[in-house]
Amino acid sequence: MITNVESPALTRMKRPTHCPVLIVEDDPDLREMMAQMLSLEGFETATAANGQEALEYLHATANPEVILLDLMMPIMDGWEFRRKQQADPALADVPVIVLSALDQPRADQVVDAAAFLKKPLDFDRLLDLVRGYCH
């Protein structure tokens, strides 16, 4: 299920920014926590529970500024998502920040991500990375 995290309370608290971020994470608690944190910081967030949902979302909407991508997910994992994203000229240029419990060298073998964050996440570092991709 793809969701957009927007509420009147969050909208009032937003800082003036327009930076869509797609969160692709199968853990519902972590996915919701990241979406709420980024929304409170003024980012527009959308979420997907796996790579297939993320591709469907990307084909139906304008591209986000950055994608936060878990690697180990059911249905379509992050590696397969990334291969399909890179093969699609309309999506290939969207930067991806990988979020994984795997060590970076193992995760980077196929993914070729813009950045890598090891789980458990350092949320301050995550915010810094996302800010860096917002124009």
Distance (Å, whole) CA 122 – CA 97: 13
Give me the domain span that covers residue 63. Answer: 3-132
- The tally of domains found in the chain comes to 1
pLDDT of residue 107: 56
DSSP SS3 for 62? coil
Distance (Å, whole) CA 131 – CA 28: 23
Please tell me what DSSP assigns to residue 94. Answer: S
∠ CA 16-36-14 to the nearest 5 degrees? Answer: 15
CB 109 within 8 A of CB 61: no
Name all contacts of 118-124 with Cβ < 8 Å and 24+ positions apart.
121/30, 121/34, 123/37
pLDDT of residue 135: 67
Distance (Å, whole) CA 126 – CA 32: 15
pLDDT of residue 134: 85
CATH number for 46: 3.40.50.2300
pLDDT of residue 34: 96
User: How do the pLDDT tens digits run along the chain, 135 residues long?
Assistant: 554 544 333 333 444 467 999 999 999 999 999 999 999 999 999 999 999 999 999 999 999 999 999 999 999 999 999 999 999 999 999 999 999 887 666 655 656 888 888 889 999 999 999 999 886
